[in-house]
A and B are shown apart, each in its own frame.
Chain A
Amino acid sequence: MDTPDDPLDELLTHWQVRDETPPTFQREVWARIAAQEAEPTWKEKLCTWLLKPSSWLVASAAAILIGAGMAWLETRPLQLTPYDAYVRSISPFASHHLATR
């Protein structure tokens, strides 16, 4: 196929490809691979874990346990003898008083 004269033809005839790679080529390639596979930070790990369906279940179970546990603690009967309960209820000093007994 005839092509019109192109200045690029002349340049291409003078172009020589070097077949030697630089001495650091291999090391640079491995460094790039290592950078891509670097250990994720704790934030990245946490986000990845939180987005998994199994973590959703664990977090829900923990929320239920914490909520129920706190309610249970708040509705625990007082650990006082009836006598101490009376003293605590009538003495303005009692909260400290009982604590130091």
Chain B
Amino acid sequence: MSIREKLLIRVVAVIALAIITHEIVYYLRPKPATAQQMGLEWLKEEYHLPNDAFARIKDLHRDYFIRCDEMCANMERAHRPLLQRSRTQASQEWRMAALKREKAICENCLDNMVDHLRTVASLMPAAEGERFLKDILPEVINPPELQKLRSQVIPLQ
């Protein structure tokens, strides 16, 4: 066996060892809670949700999380052409049209989120629902990205 073959075998063996160790440790370690799981747990404890209300709210969130992923993807798709064109010379009209499209998508996502939060609040005991909206809405209603877009898009006269 040549020196080159010996070296190659050793390198492959070392890489395989690293992968096997990774898989074993990953399998044995407890899996951390996702942001969605942590958030739902917090929601249940913080707003003292009864089990049946929590079950309905959980179902509502499951559907919403899928829509939320789609909204993120839509916003990403709307923003990409602007990033690409910023490197080249884009006309002012084209840039403004792209910004308007992105803003419209972001406004739609925001409306969807607010609708979802209001539906969640309606499933909570009345006082808790009100407190929930008071806690959450100020945090999410004015995302910096949308504020920036609102300031960039010149309203039609």
Contact = CB atoms under 8 A, between A and B. Distances in A.
B35 A85 contact: yes
B10 A92 contact: no
Contacts of B26: 71, 74-75
B29 A75 contact: yes
Contact of B42 (A67, A83, A97): A83
Majority secondary structure of chain A interface residues (helix, strand, loop or mixed): helix
Interface string B8-31: 001000110111111111100111
Interface stretch (A3-11, A13-21, A26-34, A56-64): A56-64
Interface residues of A, number: 37
Interface string B137-148: 001100111100
Contacts of B29: 71-72, 75
Contacts of A56: 10
A50 B6 CA distance: 10
A36 interface: no
Majority secondary structure of chain B interface residues (helix, strand, loop or mixed): helix
A62 B21 CA distance: 11
Contacts of B22: 67-68, 70-71
Given A63-B18, A67-B18, 17 more contacts: A47-B3, A47-B7, A64-B17, A67-B17, A68-B22, A71-B25, A72-B25, A72-B29, A75-B29, A80-B38, A83-B135, A86-B39, A88-B35, A89-B39, A90-B64, A93-B146, A97-B140
9 contacts: A50-B10, A64-B18, A71-B22, A71-B25, A80-B35, A89-B65, A89-B68, A92-B72, A93-B109
